[in-house]
Amino acid sequence: MPERYRSIIDVHVILERGQEILLLERQGTGYCDGMLHLPSGHLDEGETITDGAAREAHEEVGVRIDSADLRLVTVVHHRQRADLARVGMFFATSRWDGEPHNAEPHKCGKLLWCDPAVLPSNTIDYPAAGIASYLSNTPFTVHNW
């Protein structure tokens, strides 16, 4: 019997400030360094998806988010390469405690507040697909298949 399909679950957080969202410049990670991404990461074993999203936002940009303040805005089934797919859960919120700052300078060059409708050209395509779905109120997107 074939093994059941398994996928990595990613959690992404869209911090909304007026008409802008927060992006991070990756640095020193070996994956898309110099490119922009949302506060995000992998879901850890034993945590809920919303708790994972709140944890990643805290680890990367130092803000505390009540998981009840996160709204699921889209899901992206992303194919990273032929043998690796991921399911990205994209949450948005305009409520958090603390001022966003670079809490992981060994992984992040800088933070940028950007217009989500006009993303910088160096935005990684996977989160850009999630942001586009968020803007168009599309609940589910298949990307890079």
Q: What is the pLDDT of residue 51?
A: 98
CATH 3.90.1150.10 fits 8-143, yes or no: no
* Chain centroid to CA 79: 15
First CA to last CA distance, the chain:
25
Asked if 112 and 46 touch (Cβ cutoff 8 Å), the reply is no
CB 99 within 8 A of CB 61: no
Per-residue pLDDT of the chain (145 residues; tens, 9 = 90+): 888 888 899 999 999 999 999 999 999 999 999 999 999 999 999 999 999 999 999 999 999 999 999 999 999 999 999 889 999 999 999 999 999 999 999 999 999 999 999 999 999 999 999 999 999 999 999 999 9
Amino acid (one-letter) located at 56: E
Which helix (H) or strand (E) segment holds residue 17: the answer is strand 8-17
Q: What is the pLDDT of residue 6?
A: 83
